Amino acid sequence: SQQGEEDPQALSIQEGENATMNCSYKTSINNLQWYRQNSGRGLVHLILIRSNEREKHSGRLRVTLDTSKKSSSLLITASRAADTASYFCATLFSGNTPLVFGKGTRLSVIA
Amino acid sequence: DADVTQTPRNRITKTGKRIMLECSQTKGHDRMYWYRQDPGLGLRLIYYSFDVKDINKGEISDGYSVSRQAQAKFSLSLESAIPNQTALYFCASSGTDNTGELFFGEGSRLTVL
């Protein structure tokens, strides 16, 4: 069974607004990662947060991790039309296990 | 050139045919993976290999087999394709830094009629 569950499944916002996506998972993790996928293309790594970290920033991206609630959120600030894509969270149980992906959130940013 | 290359990018085949999807990477990674993506189901792991002599089943390995021909090459085979194997297939690689960060190919879209 899949480890992560993203919420919402789909999100539509206006350009300039912030977009927040959430991910919940079931077991203890080593790290949690977010990936982006443009329509029909390969996934691209965005950001990684380790289990002992609570927040990370990368450009317009902000990721939080709450291990007590087994949840993470990805915030994209000042969204642009080019941010339109699907976003996936992926969890790593340990260094010797493969990443497990959730079902993704489809983000549409309307110009 | 792409770091992870998949061939073919698109393939249409008929039920019962044998299909091979190939993947090669130039990142020098030891670890390689095959995932399948279906609409609304996200990515599901088919097989993974942590080195040339290591092959492991993933969540949905039934109906598939793999071969790790070299550190850089990892192929996925469908011995007798069926329509519900119609999907987008991704190969990925990762290093041994224990972060698990994946580098993906552009995908192989397979249609089984």
* pLDDT single digits (tens) B4-56: 999 999 999 999 999 999 999 999 999 999 999 998 888 999 999 999 999 99
Q: Return the HEC string of chain B.
A: CCCEEEECCEEEECCCCCEEEEEEECCCCCEEEEEEEECCCEEEEEEEEEECCEEEECCCCCCCEEEEEECCEEEEEECCCCHHHCEEEEEEEECCCCCCCCEECCCEEEEEC
What whole-number distance in Å separates Cα of residue A11 and Cα of residue A8? 7
Greater pLDDT, A40 or A19: A19
Write down the pLDDT at residue A58.
96
Half-sphere exposure of A40 (CA within 13 A, CB side): 5
Min CA distance, A89 vs chain B (Å)? Answer: 10
Q: Which helix (H) or strand (E) holds A1?
A: none
Per this entry, what is the length of chain B? 113
- Closest to B68 measured CA to CA, from B1, B22, B16: B22
CA B58 to chain centre: 11
Q: What does the DSSP assignment read for A10-42?
A: EEEEETTS-EEEEEE-SS--SEEEEEEE-TTS-
Residue A95, pLDDT above cutoff 90:
no
Write down the pLDDT at residue B40.
80
Closest residue in chain A to residue B34, using alpha carbons only: A98
The answer to whether the CB of A25 falls within 8 A of the CB of A67 is no
- Closest to B34 measured CA to CA, from B88, B99, B113, B83: B88
Mean pLDDT of A14-31: 95
The answer to whether the CB of A49 falls within 8 A of the CB of A57 is no
Lowest mean pLDDT, pick from A17-21, A34-38, A97-101, B38-42: B38-42
Q: Tell whether B67 lies on the interface with A, counting CB pairs under 8 A.
A: no
Mean pLDDT of A73-83: 98
What whole-number distance in Å separates Cα of residue B5 and Cα of residue B109? 13
Q: What is the rounded average pLDDT for all residues in chain A?
A: 94
CB proximity under 8 Å: B 6-35 to A: 33, 35
Residue B49, token pair as written in the block: 């290999």
Greater pLDDT, B2 or A86: A86
- Closest to B18 measured CA to CA, from B88, B73, B65: B65
Whether B43 sits inside 8 A of A101 (CB atoms) is yes
Whether B100 sits inside 8 A of A95 (CB atoms) is yes
Residue keyed to tokens 């990721």: A63
CA A76 to chain centre: 10
Residue A2, pLDDT above cutoff 60:
no
DSSP letter, residue A3: S
